[in-house]
Amino acid sequence: MKDKIKRILSKIFGNTTYFEPLVDKTAYPAIEEGYAGGSLADSNVLVVADCEDIKEEALSLLKREKAYVNFYHIHSCDELDLSEAEAKFIGKIDHIINIVSDKDKDVFDGAEYNNEDANSFVYLLLKKETDYLAARDRYSTLTTAFLHDESESSELQSSSIAMCIRGLGKVLSNHHIINNGLVASSKVPIKDIVNTACFLASKYGQVMSGEVIRLK
C-alpha cells in the first residue's frame, strides 16, 4: 500500500533530483589588489606578446597575483617555441596569456592580401598553443587579448578573432583547456588589459569558457 501511495505521489509531484553546487573548495591566498581571487598564485603563467614595450608592466601585474611568470616576445608565430618557454619554469605551463596588437597586420598590404594579417596571426598562434596544451591532457587556460585601433580593417579583424575564440571555447574544454579572450581598443591602458586577462585566466574564467570581453 505504501509503495502504491509513493508511486501516486511521484506521478503528481515528480521525482526529486539533487545537484551538486559549483563550488571551488580550494583555499586560495587573499590578494586584495588582485583580479584572480588568488587562483593564479603559485601557478606558471607564460605571456606571449608581439609588443615588447608592455613587458615590464605585464610582469609586474602578474607577479602581484603571486604567479611565476615569463615573457616571450615574438614577431611571428614561427618564433614561438613552447618547449623552450616551459623549460624556464619549474613544472608545466598552467596558463598562457597572448597579447597581440594589430600593428603591421592589416588585411591588405597595398593591393595584395596580407598572409600575416591579425586573423592569420592569432589563428596560427592558437593552433600551436592548443596542440601543445591538448597533448598533455591536463587543466590549463588560454587567454588571448587583441589590441586594435579605430580603423575599419582593424574593427573587422577584431570581430573575426572574437568569433574564433568563442568557437574554440567548447571544443577546447573537452581537452581540459579553458579558452577565453578580450578585444581592446588601443586607447585602453595596458594595466586594464592585463588585469582583465588575469580575471579570464583565473577560477572565474572556468565558468565561461569561450567568452570574449570587449574593452573600449
pLDDT surpasses 80 at 212:
yes
Interstrand relation of 108-109 and 112-113 (parallel, antiparallel or unpaired): antiparallel
| Direct distance between the N- and C-terminal alpha carbons of the chain, in angstroms, rounded to an integer | 67
**pLDDT digits 0-9 by tens, 53-95:** 899 999 999 999 999 999 999 988 888 999 999 999 999 999 9
d(CA 117, CA 160): 12
The answer as to whether 6 is a domain residue is: no
d(CA 189, CA 198): 15
d(CA 176, CA 171): 10
The answer as to whether 10 is a domain residue is: no
**pLDDT digits 0-9 by tens, 9-57:** 666 666 666 666 656 677 888 898 999 999 999 999 999 998 888 999 9
| More confident call, 93 vs 4 | 93
The answer as to whether 104 is a domain residue is: yes
The cell numbers describing 3, all together, are 509503495
* Strands across the sheet containing 177-185: 68-73, 44-49, 95-101, 140-148, 177-185, 212-215
pLDDT surpasses 80 at 189:
yes
Question: Which residues lie across from 144 on neighbouring strands?
Answer: 98, 181
pLDDT surpasses 60 at 107:
no
pLDDT at 184: 94
CATH code (residue 41): 3.40.50.720
User: How many distinct structural domains can be found in the chain?
Assistant: 1
Give the pLDDT mean for 107-133.
79
The answer as to whether 163 is a domain residue is: yes
Domain, as residue range, for 98: 29-215
- Helix-helix angle 55-64:190-201, to 10 degrees: 40
Q: Identify the band that residue 194 occupies on the pLDDT scale cut at 50, 70 and 90.
A: very high
| More confident call, 164 vs 110 | 164
The answer as to whether 198 is a domain residue is: yes
pLDDT at 4: 67
pLDDT surpasses 60 at 108:
no
Q: What is the pTM of this model?
A: 0.85
d(CA 67, CA 11): 54
Find how far residue 40's CA is from the centre of its chain. Answer: 13
SS (H, E, C) 80-142: CCHHHHHCCCCCCCCEEEEEEECCCCCCEECCEECCCCHHHHHHHHHHHHHHHHHCCCCCEEE
Side-chain-side CA neighbours of 2 within 13 Å: the count stands at: 0
The answer as to whether 62 is a domain residue is: yes
pLDDT at 119: 85
